[in-house]
Amino acid sequence: MNCRKILNISLLAITAVIVVIVSASKRQGTFCSSQSSETNSAENFSTTSTADEQVSTSVIFDANGLEPCFYQVPEACLQCGSVNGCSCHLNSNVSNSINPDSELPQKYIRGVDQDSTRFLTREPTWKDADCVPWETFAYGEYVGPHRTPHVAVYRLRVGDQISFNYLLTRTRTANPYRIGVGDILQLTSGGDPTIDRNNIQVLSDGTISLPLIGTVDAEGMTVGQLAETLNARYDKKFIKEPAITIQVVTGDIVIKDLRDAVDARAGQGGQNAQVEVMPDGTIRLPLIGAVPAVGLSLDEIAAEVNSRYALHVHGIFVTPNLVRRASSVIYVLGQVNKPGRQELSGPTSLMQALATAENWQNGGNLRQIIVFRRDHNWRLVATKLDIAGAVYGRNPHPADEIWLRHGDIVLVPQTPILRFSQGVDLYLRRTVYSIFPQQQLVFNFDTFRTF
């Protein structure tokens, strides 16, 4: 009987608490209130001016003239001239958040943002709510602002895929052309036409073969140097004043071979080579081989690759493009409905990861979520986070709502009561009931006795 009285009193107390909470939520307005006394008008416009900024203000009331929505269309800041938003403030409550891309007025509602923590030594609560800019694009809110870049400089990681586009610069070089292996030459003699030759190919050993004089080294020489050498050889023994001239019929064979190696005009289009950053941190390209890439930006890898090609050929310029990033993943385990691996397609916070894991399970300890992380030297670090107040709606600006990084492990542990319950269940089912399968334990709450 005493237990029933205690239960009834508990139910009455819970009901009273719920009534108080509901009443308080009805009294608390969502939108920023106005001190205007014209509550019967459907719309009230006013214009204010300060030393910092000129602001057009429109206050639109609801049907009952209560809890008005607060709109504000700020112009360029008179202090710094910014039209993209600045650190100047209209007053201590409303920040100068300007949207130059839309003519729609901004909507301010009661809420909490990072400015709410400026004068606090604790996390802000709903009691600290004030006017914050909320609706900037009206029905275009689903697009959202352009925001800042995710990272200032993207640096290549293992698994990134890069496409290198090859371009012939066709710029004149200050150095004379030097004959290379595979070049096709033409020899013309003004003293004896019988030694004229067409389509003389420079062999892989750098030589050419000519009548009477045999093998001659040609690789690395300029056209003038080779002609001078041949005139000296023929004039010495065979032909008086041979007057030999050399013409390059097909040159720049190295560039041609390189273009053939990267030619994709019949497939993807253009002249490019698509490579992937290997586990050893390098990429491999035609002619120059392995190039270190991990940790370099696209501009840095472009400079490195072009400098290496310049040692072999002239007139080639390479531009890298990031085709696909290496996958970024996190792992969520513990008391969640869908544990496992999650791919990060964009910036992801802790609560977003829990939402992707299809919410936490009953008995998950949201006050002690553990995040394991490897730093840039692969050392393991860990932190313990508390987002219980946020997910239960008590904390509007949780400091523990952090951004997650590739490779993070998020563990939602069990609450102490769940661990105790599972321990008791394991002891009873696996131990006591397995030894005495016919025995049952019944507890009488009226007499607080077992039988």
Domain 184-250 has CATH 3.40.50.620: no
- Give start-end residues of each CATH 3.10.560.10 domain in the chain: 329-414
Distance between CA atoms of residues 407 and 343, nearest Å:
10
DSSP annotation string for 268-289: TSSBEEEEE--TTSEEEETTTE
Instruction: Domain 329-414: give its CATH architecture.
Output: Roll (3.10)
Distance between CA atoms of residues 429 and 420, nearest Å:
14
**Across 242-253, average pLDDT:** 86
- Give start-end residues of each CATH 3.30.1950.10 domain in the chain: 161-172+254-324, 184-250
- Residue 445's pLDDT band, with cuts at 50, 70 and 90, is low
Distance between CA atoms of residues 119 and 243, nearest Å:
93
Highest mean predicted confidence (pLDDT) among 76-80, 167-171, 322-326: 322-326
User: What percent of the chain shows pLDDT beyond 70?
Assistant: 73
**Across 1-9, average pLDDT:** 63
Q: Is the pLDDT of residue 70 over 80?
A: no
- Residue 293's pLDDT band, with cuts at 50, 70 and 90, is very high
Residue 379 or 107, more confident = 379
Residue 45 or 316, more confident = 316
Q: Are 320 and 164 in contact (CB under 8 A)?
A: yes
* 161-172+254-324, CATH topology level: wza like fold (3.30.1950)
For residue 282, give the nearest of 295, 291, 271 by alpha carbon: 291
Strand ranges, E, within 359-415: 369-374, 380-385, 409-412
pLDDT digits (tens, 9 = 90+) for 372-402: 999 988 899 999 999 999 999 888 889 899 9
**pLDDT at position 109, please?**
83
**pLDDT at position 64, please?**
40
- Residue 58's pLDDT band, with cuts at 50, 70 and 90, is very low
pLDDT digits (tens, 9 = 90+) for 191-235: 888 888 888 888 888 888 888 888 888 888 888 888 888 888 887
**pLDDT at position 44, please?**
38
**pLDDT at position 32, please?**
53
**pLDDT at position 436, please?**
63
- Residue 266's pLDDT band, with cuts at 50, 70 and 90, is low
**pLDDT at position 67, please?**
44
